[in-house]
Amino acid sequence: MAKLNILDTEGKEIEQISIADAMVKQKINEEILHQEVRRYLAAARAGTHKTKQRGEVSGGGRKPWRQKGTGNARAGTTRSPIWRHGGITFGPVPRDYSFKLNKKVIRKSRLIALSEKFASKKIIVIDSLVYEEPKTASAAKMLENLNLSGSKVLLVLDQTDGSTAKSFRNIPGVKVVSPRGLATYDILIADYLVFTKKSLTDFTGGLDNERS
């Protein structure tokens, strides 16, 4: 069993928590990470880009010149794609860029990303983190106590709509997610991964349920 230190909000060690080796000692597989990062970024694309085809461009209702006798090439509309101000040929249209991956591959990628953070000692577990009302100053002080000021921090909370989450929302570099919303991409780009004791239990328990 692997061990993680549990700290208080002042950065002092309180106890240790055991976590299964299967959760944090996965062999790095760059291909699986690459596939999942591509899937995540593709799903985030809006896909709303659009150009107008010849039938959608305004104007062009009149034939520019008669069919024969002018010496010019035949033309039926000034909105042909080969004309200036004409339509666009094979331009982008709204589309969905997302694609599916096997659930086991997605789960595996999370474990690999978590293992990478564990190996580099970038996982921090807080015993409890509760603010009755939004307190950004207190949240910033906690990050300072943990030597996380100025770092990209992924904070995993069991509730992302309460006062605790709001306390961190305006701090640059901090992203708040739930255990269920923790994505491989977010883990990889963060400098530090910060859990509460409860959110860590929820996250690892969710991965166990996915396996079963």
So what's the pLDDT on residue 22? 85
Instruction: Name which of 140, 126, 133 is nearest 163 in CA terms.
Output: 133
Q: Are 5 and 13 in contact (CB under 8 A)?
A: yes
What does each C-alpha distance from 121 to 4, 62, 198 come to in angstroms?
A: 9, 71, 20
Q: Are 126 and 9 in contact (CB under 8 A)?
A: yes
pLDDT 10s digits, 115-139: 999 999 999 999 988 888 998 999 9
pLDDT 10s digits, 18-57: 888 888 889 999 999 999 999 999 999 999 999 999 989 9
Which of 3.40.50.670, 3.40.50.300, 3.40.1370.10, 3.30.950.10 would CATH assign to domain 2-46+98-211?
Answer: 3.40.1370.10
Which is it for strands 2-7 and 13-19: parallel, antiparallel or unpaired? antiparallel
Owner of token pair 């069993």:
1
Domain ranges, ordered by start, for the chain:
2-46+98-211, 51-91
Instruction: Name which of 131, 172, 170, 116 is nearest 148 in CA terms.
Output: 172
pLDDT 10s digits, 88-119: 999 999 999 999 999 999 999 999 999 999 99
Q: Long-range contacts for 161-165 (Cβ within 8 Å, ≥24 apart)?
A: 163/131, 163/132, 163/133, 163/134, 163/135, 164/129, 164/130, 164/131
So what's the pLDDT on residue 160? 84
So what's the pLDDT on residue 19? 87
So what's the pLDDT on residue 209? 64
State the CB neighbour count (10 A cutoff) for residue 120. Answer: 10
Q: What is the pTM of this model?
A: 0.81
What does 45-74 look like in DSSP terms, one character per residue? ---------TTTSS---S-SS-SSSSSSPP
Instruction: Name which of 186, 185, 180, 212 is nearest 199 in CA terms.
Output: 180
So what's the pLDDT on residue 211? 59
Which is it for strands 123-126 and 174-177: parallel, antiparallel or unpaired? unpaired
In the structure, what pLDDT confidence band is assigned to residue 210 with cuts at 50, 70 and 90? low
